[in-house]
Amino acid sequence: MTNFILNITSADDDLMISSKEVICYTLNSDMDLDALKEIISKLAKEEKIILLHGNKALERCKDLGADGIIADLSASKNIKKDIEFIRQKSKNMTLGIICRNRRHEAMIVSENEPDFIIFKVWHDGQDKTIELAKWYNEFFLLQMAIMPQDDNIALKDYLADIMILTPELYKIFVAKK
């Protein structure tokens, strides 16, 4: 069964707290600090998992009481070193890593054992990402997530453990079920 993470990028996004399928949220750490605190307070009351992403994720994670971070290492020149640095700063926290949509990078990320790996998906090139996801699922036990970057993704074609969706894309996906 696929789990869902809602990608919240604005204080105005619908949190859809009543949805039982959404167990986790990733919040843009660059949002206004007061807005972040308010959203985190609402989600914590509902016992939802809270992850931060963006430029300030590492520095704000512990102070705001988030459960972990999603780090985008898709431009990393040294994935292993970058993951070690993140691990030192976020001990005992959940860690998701976004990597390039390439087998080599996926192997390196997986060898460094984050909690899950994330592949970004665009409509153009989605066939290659579907093949990458199939390959990944055959060889690795680490959970895999996809994160659509536009609205024209054939989500049903992915055998992902986790889908990271905007509230709008989640509504469309659930309506099509």
Q: What is the pTM of this model?
A: 0.93
Q: Which domains does the chain have, with CATH numbers?
A: 3-10+21-176 (3.20.20.70)
Query: What is the per-residue pLDDT for 160?
Result: 87
pLDDT averaged over 10-residue windows placed end to end, the chain, 177 residues: 90 88 94 96 94 95 94 95 92 94 95 95 90 92 92 81 92 78
Among 97, 109, 99, 106, which Cα is nearest to 74's?
99
Query: What is the per-residue pLDDT for 53?
Result: 97
Query: How would DSSP label each residue in 112-165?
Result: T--SEEEEEE-STTHHHHHHHHHHHHHH--SEEEEEESSS---GGG---SEEEE
Query: What is the per-residue pLDDT for 92?
Result: 87
Q: Hunting for tokens 């520095």 — which residue is that?
A: 59
Among 172, 133, 164, 155, which Cα is nearest to 22's?
164
Instruction: Determine the distance from the C-alpha atom of residue 13 to the mean position of all C-alpha atoms in its chain, rounded to a whole number.
Output: 17
